[in-house]
A and B are shown apart, each in its own frame.
Chain A
Amino acid sequence: MSYIVQGETGDWEVVCGLEVHAQAISKAKLFSGASVEFGAEPNEQVSLVDAAMPGMLPVINEYAVEQAVKTGLGLNAKINLHSVFERKNYFYADLPQGYQISQYLHPIVGEGTVVLDLEDGSTREIGIERLHMEQDAGKSIHDRDPRRTFIDLNRSGTCLMEIVSKPDIRTPEEAGAYLRKMRSILRYLGTCDGNMEEGSLRCDVNVSVRKVGETDLRTRAEVKNVNSVKFVMQAIEHEAERQIDVYESGGEVVQETRLFDSGKGETRSMRAKEFAHDYRYFPDPDLLPLRLDAAWVAKIEATLPELPDAKKNRFMRDFGLSAYDAGVLVAERETAEYFEAAAEGRDAKQAANWVINNLAGALGKLGLGIGESPVSAAGLGKLLDLIKDGTISSNIAKKVFEAMMETGDDPEAIVEAQGLKQVTDTGAIEAAVDAAIAAGENQVAQYKAGNQKIIGWFVGQVMKATGGKANPQTVNELLRKKLAG
């Protein structure tokens, strides 16, 4: 897939890298024991360390380290057994220490890869540059009062994993696919809940453009806080166009930080390089270098779940699913698990169709996640069994499924209660077939004249007469026999 912007001076391509900030799932903060639960009242989850009281010291949360290592392993990345926490110094009201403890020269995770599943079923590898751990800042609330700013330190000190990609992304679609895949992997691993609305997954995009055929990278702009897949794609499109316009009107793109305005769909400058902070990074003297034991890392590796790529390959191999279907099913761990339970011992392709089309469609209408589905995987499996053993037709199954979505009842009970059992009694069907032929003189003539499609009219009549319960195969066989005679 390529994304080429035709400018006045020629064709341009886009070069992007993403920085994803993922809040690690952990009960406590990175360097303090305070809780990190979402939704608490302002400043309720602030320890003495988080508020940077005099004399307070950070102590590393071992579980947060485990989560970072697990994430690194899930990104097929190198785990650095020696890493260093440094201080990134700057003043802001919601940064109590006056510095953020982060990792700079020696991150805990090095290079890795993420495989993108693209719309056309193809895949593409995007390189991971690094993952490092850092503290989140608090929140400044500017819109509660015309003159004052309020500070909420609940988020202060929460553990973030900053995952930096290589500049391998070439299209807005790839950026979207990357973010979706990253979210999927993190959720599979249980290291980040991926909730972009609550801010536990945030994204900055580095964008530059260059003429097709150029190999060097041009100056990039960093677009901050683009917090949905849609916005990431929009921000890249707009930023690329802006930069191309700058070059084509004889200007130069400057290295700067820009903010994406999702209302206007454009980016605007936050601060240029000359106003950039000098963060004065230096190793935090309150913390020893982080040394990991290779055996400890191996132990974590042994607990990794089957990740989306492996699952997708297995679904394709074992169930004969298409790359696209398998990709859709594995995107969310719950969906994949639901599918596997429903497909167990059944026609997997049929199960896949039901999950991808009928179930996903119905849940989408109700605004429910798969975990909240009124139809359980076992229920859907039973429904598939009823189709298979001829109790109901596929058409009736859709009706039964609708009822299941509404009531959550067992499909067999619904079929029984609503009398939806398929009619296979040839005598009853034959009567309906005879009646249809008798009523359709015209149609019989057309059929005899060679219009095979008209048979559908007869099927419709029979189904109407039997309340849709006639076995379609029997109906077809009888019609052909009688019309031929």
Chain B
Amino acid sequence: MSDLTDLTIAAARDFLAKGEVSSRELTEAHIKAMETQRGINAYVTETPGIALERADASDKRRASKDLKGAMDGIPIAVKDLFCTEGVLSTAASHILDGFTPPYESTVTRNLRDAGAVMLGKANMDEFAMGSANVTSHYGSVKNPWGPKDGKDLVPGGSSGGSAAAVAARTCLAATGTDTGGSIRQPASFCGVVGMKPTYGRCSRWGIVAFASSLDQAGPMTRSVEDAAIMLNAMAGHDPKDSTSAPIETPDFTATLGQGVKGLKVGIPAEYRMDGAPDEIEALWRKGTETLKAQGAEIVDVTLPHTKYALPTYYIVAPAEASSNLARYDGVRYGLRVEGGTLDDMYLNTRAEGFGAEVRRRIMIGTYVLSAGYYDAYYLKAQKVRTLIADDFRQAYETCDVILTPTTPSAAFAIGEKEDDPIAMYLNDIFTVPSSLAGLPGISVPAGLDAGGLPLGLQLIAPAFDELTLFRVAETLEEAIGFDAKPEGL
């Protein structure tokens, strides 16, 4: 048997089923890996006690042939944005100091109900605001592919801890959340698979809200098949979330292995950016050629409003965030910094409790919703958002799936771009448009840059067509055969 921490979920399930390994053994191996890899700071909270308890329970179920579901006994990491019952849940923010919810988010509840074993809470950008995992109150996460030229690299963000944890083999998979690219971009930077489902596929109940109309949970794994297996356990209609789609959840593994013959893959001209590194272009071309070689038809599509996506996103998301984060006021839970008056208490608590990037976005959001600016910013942004969604709708009249790079570059060094928010925001240039349109997207590791760092390709499918997305992604993954690993693993 190969190294227990280097398995896919699918392979681990087989070993468990054959009785060649127990969930306890699998879990202990990962607890050990978590300890060994503490240097990358992928976890805010490790929960080995809970993990072993759940692993033993899984083994017991297996012994009595009473398995819970498709993830039974599989050790995973959970992004700290998910509220987990009885376990510190902080969204990597100082303001949620000591916050231990008495409830379990629907997605992590679903995973528990499927038998998954939680190893710990993954580090992330504070309130999921960031693209480099440098805004966490618990410190930056280091990309396991680094250091490079003596410098530690960012894992991407905001699900940087989840991506790093999966890449460093400290868990078989992790949950992430994606608002403008927060699953796909760190997946690309860390050489793992990251999948954002259609908005409404997974319940947002119990996930600390960043931007409600965009936030969506998804799996981060080491294979496309694993992502489909894990999404099966995560997704489903939830009456507690009014925006959760009241539709049947298909078996997301159903189309795996079907290949891409007869499918049309759209290549959007607008994603060809001036000044983009050649290797990004080359990677995109490689992806295109690969799918063509597998029998897909390549078609040119146009998404004319792409260039407005980033500014639109940076109005809509902060606007919602400025309101969503108003509840962190020091009155009921988390951090409170006293003051002479109620207003002083608010000011002191929120000034100390929120980091610089969160404060920046609250201020942007407050500004764009203010009287006299609402029409020019928020309302205009909503109109552009509709146009962007229409772009995709029209493109899908001529193609089944769209292929783009995931990010405009590979991982960069910690400290870079930190004094230039716009440069930082540009990381999400390829992921934000589909987020605004609510579409499912996946990043598949597809190659290495000149410096040996992983790069991902993104596939985007029509709303609720995850089956096509997984089918194409798996074909791309198989054909490219990416098998590089961070050094030392």
Interface residues of A (CB under 8 A from B): 48, 51-60, 87, 89, 91-93, 96-99, 149, 151, 278, 280-282, 285-288
Contact = CB atoms under 8 A, between A and B. Distances in A.
Interface in B283-302: none
A482 to B, nearest CB: 88
Q: Which of A55, A59, A91, A97 counts the most B-chain CB atoms under 10 A from its CB?
A: A55
Contact of B242 (A48, A57, A98, A282): A57
A89 B326 contact: yes
Listed from nearest, the 3 A-B pairs whose CB atoms lie closest are A98-B326, A285-B212, A280-B369
B370 interface: yes
B103 interface: yes
A281 to B, nearest CB: 8
Interface string B211-226: 1110000000000000
B243 A99 contact: no
8 contacts: A51-B332, A57-B240, A58-B242, A91-B326, A99-B326, A280-B371, A287-B243, A288-B243
B242 A288 contact: yes
B242 A91 contact: no
Nearest to B209: A55
Nearest to A151: B331
Interface stretch (B200-208, B353-361, B420-428): B200-208
B370 A287 contact: no
Nearest to A98: B326
A97 B326 contact: yes
A390 B381 CA distance: 83
B369 A91 contact: no
Q: Give the size range of B's interface with the partner.
A: 35 or more
Contacts, number: 99
Given A54-B96, A98-B325, 7 more contacts: A53-B103, A56-B205, A89-B326, A91-B343, A91-B346, A92-B342, A93-B342
Q: Which of A48, A60, A99, A282 counts the most B-chain CB atoms under 10 A from its CB?
A: A282
Interface of B: 82-83, 89, 91, 96, 99, 101-103, 105, 204-209, 211-213, 239-243, 319-320, 322-323, 325-327, 329, 331-333, 342-343, 346, 366, 369-371, 374, 378
Nearest to B206: A55
Contacts of B206: 55-56
B109 to A, nearest CB: 12
B99 A54 contact: yes
A54 B83 contact: yes
Given A98-B323, A99-B323, A286 B242 contact: yes
A57 B239 CA distance: 10
Nearest to B241: A57
Given A48-B103, A91-B346, A53 B333 contact: yes
Q: Which of A48, A54, A281 counts the most B-chain CB atoms under 10 A from its CB?
A: A54
A98 B342 CA distance: 13
A93 B326 contact: no
B331 A54 contact: no
Contacts of B323: 87, 89, 98-99, 280, 282
Given A87-B323, A280-B323, A96 B332 contact: yes
Contacts of B319: 282
Contacts of B211: 285
B370 A278 contact: yes
A286 B215 CA distance: 11
A89 B204 CA distance: 22
Contacts of A56: 205-206
Contact of A286 (B212, B332, B370): B212
Contacts of B371: 278, 280
Given A54-B83, A98-B327, A285 B320 contact: yes
B370 A280 contact: yes
A99 B207 CA distance: 19
A287 B34 CA distance: 39
A97 B208 CA distance: 13
A395 B323 CA distance: 71
A31 B203 CA distance: 17
A93 B378 CA distance: 27
A169 B55 CA distance: 71
Given A51-B332, A54-B101, A287 B369 contact: no
Contacts of B378: 282
Nearest to A283: B382
Nearest to B207: A55
Q: Which of B327, B346, B370 counts the most A-chain CB atoms under 10 A from its CB?
A: B327
Contacts of A59: 239-242
A175 B287 CA distance: 73
Contact of A98 (B241, B329, B374): B329
A97 B325 CA distance: 8
